[in-house]
Amino acid sequence: MAPKPEVFIDLHLVLIRDGKILMGERRNNGFGAGQYHVPAGHLEPDETIIDGIIREAREETGISIRAEDLELAHVMHFHGSSDRLSLFFTARHWTGEIENPEPEKCAGWHWLPLDTLPANTIAYAKTAVGHIQAGECLGLFGWEV
């Protein structure tokens, strides 16, 4: 019997306001330094996906989101150096002002035009945002199809 695949769960927050999406420029990390990405992180042990995305929102942007204001917008199976199940959430409402509590990891948060993301946007995030805009809730990235 083949071994079960080890799949990591990534959590992404897609905040959209007035035709713009919140993205930060990553820095001082092993993946995507100098590229734009939505607030994101990974699921911790003994944590629900809802608790995880609420925690990531607070840690990365300083905002608070209630569970009832979250919506799972897209699921992407990412295949690369490791298999990842990437969950993209949107939020109808949040409280607090966007700040940068982790300046060592993010050069700053910016509201960027949703229809013209920068060329240096992390590819799988750009793909997922396109799927979300098209109303597609499921996608693949990095798989030969």
Record the pTM. 0.92
Q: Take residue 82 and report the two structure tokens written for it.
A: 């490791």
Classify residue 34: in a domain, yes or no: yes
Query: If pLDDT is split at 50, 70 and 90, which confidence band does 28 have?
Result: confident
Classify residue 13: in a domain, yes or no: no
Tell the residue number behind the tokens 């905002």, with chain if given: 63
**In which domain, by residue range, is 83 found?**
19-141
Classify residue 10: in a domain, yes or no: no
58-72 pLDDT, tens digit each:
999 999 999 999 999
CA distance 121 to 32: 9
Classify residue 71: in a domain, yes or no: yes
**CATH number of the domain where residue 28 is located:** 3.90.79.10
CA distance 131 to 145: 17
Classify residue 61: in a domain, yes or no: yes
Classify residue 3: in a domain, yes or no: no
pLDDT of residue 145: 59
Classify residue 29: in a domain, yes or no: yes
Mean pLDDT of 3-21: 91
CA distance 94 to 76: 24
Domain total in the chain = 1
34-86 pLDDT, tens digit each:
899 999 999 999 999 999 999 999 999 999 999 999 999 999 998 876 788 99
Is residue 20 a contact partner of residue 111, using CB atoms and an 8 Å limit? Answer: yes
pLDDT: is 132 or 32 the higher one? 132
CA distance 128 to 139: 7
Q: Give the bridge partners for 42, in sequence order.
A: 10
87-112 pLDDT, tens digit each:
999 999 999 999 999 999 999 999 99
pLDDT > 90: percent of the chain: 80
Q: Give the bridge partners for 102, in sequence order.
A: none
